[in-house]
Amino acid sequence: MKTLKILFVGLLAFSFVTDANALFGFGRKKKKKDKGSMDLPGLGTPRSNPSAPPRMAQEADGMGQSNYSETETAIGDYPNQETPGGGLPSEIEIRSGNKRGLQKPPLRIEVDAFDSIRDSLKPDQQLLLAESPLTVVWRRTHPEFLRNTRVIKPSISTFDERPGIIFSPLVRLQEVLSRKPEKRELRGFQWSLTIADEEGKVFQHYEGNSFPPSELVWSGQNDQGDWIQAGRAYSPVYMFTDPNGTPYTKVGQPLQFKGMVHQERDGLHLSLDSASLFGSAKSAQKLTGDGPRIIRSAGDLIKRRYSGIPIRVEVYAGSKSLADLQADLVESRLTQHLMLMPQDISTDSLRVSYTDQRVEIILLNR
């Protein structure tokens, strides 16, 4: 029995020693390795296990040393480039990727550059929904759509809206003196304005003993009640006398009008120059030069201010037959432009001398 216990204890001790040697590596002899076949750091036995995953250079072995492989990088195996002699390359270049920091996207704010005028660019609904020009009532004196010969054209207006002819005696005095006189000098200046016709006769006269006026408005009618005639020239003559008795004379620009408007007893007269309508000889049988433009301007004036008033056309020409023909031409133009019937315009003709030849469009407002 005692012998059996000793045998059991011996077996138990032998097994413990065997396990300790297996655990701590005691009692084993390491195999000597050939220097020529030494393992590379981090690689182990060269090509010992092709199926095993590659070990990284950063991994440490059991002895606390990092195993570095010259054919391994952080992203896998590096191509094994062998030299012609069979050895490894002397230099291996390891490249790293570019480092990019944190980048913020650019700030983009959508802004409408036309926000302040966006409403003004919208179409006008009132214009889009306006009444069609084709539905204009026929009773109107003229249609109201564009590109029509009967529409009023302000660009061709030839009749001035001012009430009369303006003269400036004070400005003419400064011109003859070549200087601006002082106010106390003007007290002693005598002045006169004479308007003469083509024959040199005095048509109208103004005068004063002191202070020549800066502006003088003349209606075109003289003291005898006669009006200036369209197409005829009238010359203003200024005369000044200083306190010492020295006279000065200044002739102004001639006054000549293609047409003029004035009120007389039988109605409102639109006097037109026959030379502007029928040529310099006043004998043409059709409108020439500015004739169509002047007749249309007269029609526009009637539309603006005197629509609906009866009209009479008087033509003064070199012969009765020529006067009748020219009267028919003017009547036809006005009838077409004013959209009237032929019986709405009456005509009259008369034979006169060359200087008195003219066309009178009379609005019978009295």
Residue 1 falls inside a structural domain: no
Angle CA(157)–CA(160)–CA(166) in degrees, nearest 5?
Answer: 155
pLDDT at residue 10 in the model = 46
Number of domains in the chain: 2
Alpha carbons 87 and 180: distance in angstroms, whole number:
117
CATH number at residue 267: 3.30.1330.60
Over range 318-330, report the average pLDDT. Answer: 93
pLDDT digit string, tens, across residues 193-235: 999 998 889 999 999 988 899 999 998 999 999 999 988 999 9
Residue 168 CA to residue 176 CA, distance in Å, equals: 13
**247 and 170: one domain?**
yes
E strand residue ranges, the chain: 72-73, 76-77, 165-167, 190-196, 202-208, 216-218, 235-241, 247-251, 259-264, 267-273, 311-317, 345-351, 358-363
Domain containing residue 244: CATH number: 2.60.40
In-domain check, residue 28: no
Domain assignment of residue 15, yes or no: no
- Radius of gyration for the alpha carbons in the chain, expressed in angstroms and rounded: 60
Q: Are residues 247 and 265 in the same domain?
A: no
Same domain? 227 vs 276:
no
* One domain for residues 233 and 172: yes
Q: What tokens were used for 303? A: 């539309």
Q: Which domain covers residue 172, as residue numbers?
A: 165-251
More confident residue, 39 or 140: 140
CB 307 within 8 A of CB 351: no
Residue 7 confidence (pLDDT) above 50 = no
pLDDT of residue 249: 93
The token pair that represents 13 in the structure block: 């001790």
Provide the pLDDT for residue 25. 47
Model pTM above 0.75:
no
Interval 128-168: pLDDT, tens: 776 665 555 555 555 555 566 677 777 776 677 677 899 99
